[in-house]
Amino acid sequence: MSDSQFQGRIALVTGAASGIGAATAQRLADGGVAGLALVDQNPEGLAEVSNRVSAGGINVLTIAQDVGDPQAWGEAEGLIGRTFGRLDLAVANAGTGAHGQLVELGFQDWRRVMSTNLDGVFLTVSAAMRLMTEGGAIVVNASVMASKAEVGAGAYAVSKAGAAHLVKVAAKEGAPARIRVNAVLPGGVETPIWREVPMFNDIVAAHGSEAAAFAAMGSLNPLGRYAKPEEIAGVIAFLLSDACGFVTGSSLVCDGGYLL
């Protein structure tokens, strides 16, 4: 159902081809945005999301690129500026993972995670801030792993901790230009990123399906389940909305009680 909380605004979402990014794009479309710039490395997934969200007459620009590529961002920033003239909202959501203890984790995997989860956030946020000529709001999708150590999650956790701190710096630097910057820290969410984790694939094999694997892992949370992407998209939309007009530099945990 459509509402008008983002009526007429222009938004950017990275990692928009699936999971939280796709759900966020839909939430913003339902909220009345006039334009959406969707970024992802997966052109087929981008096309599917674009077709879905543009059904309501929204102007959608799809950009297939690696968020960790500064040259690609130079081109993307210019394209967004020429297409829409400005940005009002941005969601730095693109992310990837690698599992392995530090003594066995390859440097290539470490750099791959940092390139997407930290370099990509820096490039997204800096480009968005330059395009927000009339103020705006930015949300970075970090993780509860930014605050909790887990064996084998070193690269992912460090990248997310860096992204969460970058939010605080960006919030201070953006405040004079009326740009708010906040982070959302999800716990377990039912998204495709889990397929990059060998442990998850082992659990899928043991339980017979991804749905059963998510149910087994989610049962360990106080709330007894993992989140749906749409639930995290709702939190992101809240942080982007005028209801959070006095909120900046904050990290909102939404983890089903995992950190308790």
Active site residues: 156
Beta bridge partners of 12: 37, 90
Q: How far apart are CA 101 and CA 154, in angstroms?
A: 7
Q: How far apart are CA 128 and CA 115, in angstroms?
A: 18
Count the neighbouring beta carbons within 10 Å of the beta carbon of residue 123. Answer: 23
Q: How far apart are CA 119 and CA 72, in angstroms?
A: 13
β-pairing, 179-186 with 136-141? parallel
Closest of 145, 167, 91 to residue 253, by C-alpha = 145
Q: How far apart are CA 16 and CA 92, in angstroms?
A: 10
Beta bridge partners of 89: 11, 137
Where are the strands (E) in the chain, listed by range?
A: 10-14, 35-40, 59-64, 89-92, 136-141, 179-186, 251-254
What are the respective helix, strand and coil percentages of the chain, to the nearest 5?
50, 15, 35
Phi, psi of 133 (to 5 degrees): -75, -15
Amino acid of residue 231: E
Q: How far apart are CA 105 and CA 184, in angstroms?
A: 27
